[in-house]
Structure 1
Amino acid sequence: MTAALVDLGTLQARLPELTEQYRSAQPFPHVVLDDVLFADAFARAATEFPAMRDPFWKGYLHVNETKYGNTQPDTWGPTLTEVAKEFVSPEFVGFLEQLTGITGLLPDWSMDGGGLHQTLRGGHLNIHADFTTHHVHEHWSRRVNILLYLNEEWRDEWGGKLELWDKDMTAAQAKVEPAGNRMLIFTTNEDSFHGHPDALTCPDDVARRSMALYYFTEEEHAVRRSTNYRARPDEAGIKRAAIAVDRSAVDLYDRAKRKLGISDEHVSGLLERISRLTRRRTR
């Protein structure tokens, strides 16, 4: 790797400091890194981010989330594609292994659940712990997430901070603002609850933008759990019930996706139509 885009040299030089921060962080191991890409590389990547109405966006539009994803790097601009390639390179994976203490990490170019993400005004992502195994490689256990924020501008009053909650869902112990060229790396397991559940208040022509990649280890007895959405302590009973019902529906879809090979493309249009109908009925 030439490191023309990712400032890996600086990250490696900071490993002793970053490793201590990562492993001692609460409520679960994580670290926030700024200026991960060189400045000119970030500027190009942000400029290349697909337009809000790009046809390759897939809607994830239901009670627990309203966001869009693009898992097809061949539809991205050249800088975004090369950034993703550096994130799956042996050098960067080696950095993650040293940072997290997890050996044998496997990057995932299929972008199962990852890729580019955008959330528009009014969008949200309820607190959740991610699905635990790869949908195709059933023995791959999900271990590490990276999120690179690609916002050219993000204002505090727009919301969208990623909340990191303790395993008992009693409090958000950390919040991460989605500032441009900022990366969050965290260990993912059944208790790594995170999300941004309050509706975004950004302008209509602004989106909360990121690139997500996930890393796995091969396990003989990988334990499958679908995305586990949770209510916050102060949320009303009706909302709690809706979150629970939707969580069960997502679990059924997750099982069907694994057993029948159903792709997200087949359901994204249906989810979007249902979401529009639901919004009309609640106005």
Structure 2
Amino acid sequence: MMATMQETGIMTMMAGKIKLPVSTAELQQQYKNAKPFPHLVIDNMFPDEVLDGVLNEIPPLTDDKWVHERRERLAKSNLRSAVEFEEKGYQFSAFVNSAKFLYLLTELTDIWSLLPDPYMGGAGFHVVPKGGKFDVHADRNIDQNTGLRRRLAMLTYLNKNWKPEYGGQLELWDTTGSRCERVVEPIFNRTVIFEVADQNFHGVRPVLVEDRARMSFAAYFHTVPDEKFIPHASVYAPTFYDRRDPLRKRIANEVIPPVVYRVVRWAKGKK
């Protein structure tokens, strides 16, 4: 009875803002039983008009608000900071980081005491242009600003009239990172929620079309780490792991704060 009352209360508070295909209790069972690791794929979770407003505010990639990551394993662009959001983006970010939404995520995943990330570290708008990709990996498990443990990732796709031949699909891989077990098309108003864990490998297929970019809004949710927690950066699947990187470089990527690491790289480039 208590769980039913709690679920009803949460969804009542979300009226007009969230739509779920079945009850939160059913979705929690789907999440826990999903293969290859706990996740949900929910279509039309948010009102279309809300995401239309968010989509219309994405700045052009020529704007200096973007950080462009172009590496061997990763090619995508992230908004530089959450303070760059315009009004609709700010409202959406505030909503998904609100207490109501955190309680909803707890109902969906059974992960309690979730914490928001108003700084949107590594989150916010993600844009993958032609040729862009993200090799198979398990996510960084720590927020570098707060030191909190990442527990959940949420991706909401903003791609209207997206076709399979455009590429950009999300792949979910087995715990060894050797076999793709689910492919998710990045269509408009499709939301993917999955657990961040060391063996939860996933990746993004290359985008194949010249005149389209794969766009999404990403958010991470956290808990306080316990004494057994071991922080790490993204872990790439064995078949993509580049052992040519010097050991000292891999260690630097793991332990040096990003701001310091970027300053060191800039200083070397000026010599």
TM > 0.5 fold call = yes
Question: Are the counterparts in 1 of residues 82 and 119 from structure 2 also a CA contact under 8 Å?
Answer: no
For residue 262 of structure 1, what is the amino acid of its counterpart? Answer: V
For residue 17 of structure 2, what is the amino acid of its counterpart? Answer: D
C-alpha distance in 2 between matches for 1:85 and 1:246: 39
- Deviation string for 1:147-182 (max 9, x for gaps)? 111112311101111100011123111111110111
Q: 1:220 aligns with which of 226, 237, 248?
A: 226
Tell me the equivalent position of 2:54.
Answer: 45
Tell me the equivalent position of 2:17.
Answer: 7
Q: CA deviation at 1:20?
A: 1.4
Q: CA deviation at 1:14?
A: 2.4
Question: Are the counterparts in 1 of residues 173 and 200 from structure 2 also a CA contact under 8 Å?
Answer: yes
Q: CA deviation at 1:244?
A: 3.6
| CA pair 122-40 structure 1, distance change in 2 beyond 3 A | same
C-alpha distance in 1 between matches for 2:104 and 2:152: 12
For residue 102 of structure 2, what is the amino acid of its counterpart? Answer: V
| CA pair 220-16 structure 1, distance change in 2 beyond 3 A | closer
- Structure 2 residue matching 1:262: 3-state secondary structure: helix
For residue 255 of structure 1, what is the amino acid of its counterpart? Answer: V
- Deviation string for 1:173-222 (max 9, x for gaps)? 111111011110001110110011x431122x321111111111102322
C-alpha distance in 2 between matches for 1:69 and 1:108: 16
- Structure 2 residue matching 1:11: 3-state secondary structure: coil
- Deviation string for 1:11-49 (max 9, x for gaps)? 396212211111100010000011122122122222222
Q: Structure 1 residue 70 and structure 2 residue 76: aligned?
A: no
How does 1:135-146 map onto structure 2 within 5 Å? Answer: 135-138=144-147, 140-146=148-154
C-alpha distance in 2 between matches for 1:267 and 1:94: 41
Tell me the equivalent position of 2:3.
Answer: none
Tell me the equivalent position of 2:6.
Answer: none
Q: 2:214 aligns with which of 208, 211, 216?
A: 208
Question: Are the counterparts in 1 of residues 24 and 108 from structure 2 also a CA contact under 8 Å?
Answer: yes
- Structure 1 residue matching 2:105: 3-state secondary structure: helix
Tell me the equivalent position of 1:123.
Answer: 132
Q: CA deviation at 1:98?
A: 1.3
For residue 135 of structure 1, what is the amino acid of its counterpart? Answer: Q
Q: CA deviation at 1:109?
A: 1.2
For residue 232 of structure 2, what is the amino acid of its counterpart? Answer: R
| CA pair 132-69 structure 1, distance change in 2 beyond 3 A | same
| CA pair 267-80 structure 1, distance change in 2 beyond 3 A | farther
- Structure 1's unaligned 5+ residue stretches are 233-239, 274-283
Tell me the equivalent position of 1:256.
Answer: 256
- Deviation string for 1:46-102 (max 9, x for gaps)? 222222222111011111101110142332221121111100000000011111111
Q: Structure 1 residue 81 and structure 2 residue 90: aligned?
A: yes
C-alpha distance in 2 between matches for 1:267 and 1:81: 32
Tell me the equivalent position of 2:157.
Answer: 149
- Structure 2's unaligned 5+ residue stretches are 1-9
Q: 1:16 aligns with which of 20, 25, 34?
A: 25
Q: Structure 1 residue 99 and structure 2 residue 108: aligned?
A: yes
- Considering only aligned residues, what root-mean-square deviation do their CA atoms show, in Å? 2.7
Question: Are the counterparts in 2 of residues 46 and 152 from structure 1 also a CA contact under 8 Å?
Answer: no
Aligned length: 255
For residue 257 of structure 2, what is the amino acid of its counterpart? Answer: K
For residue 52 of structure 1, what is the amino acid of its counterpart? Answer: L
C-alpha distance in 2 between matches for 1:267 and 1:28: 38
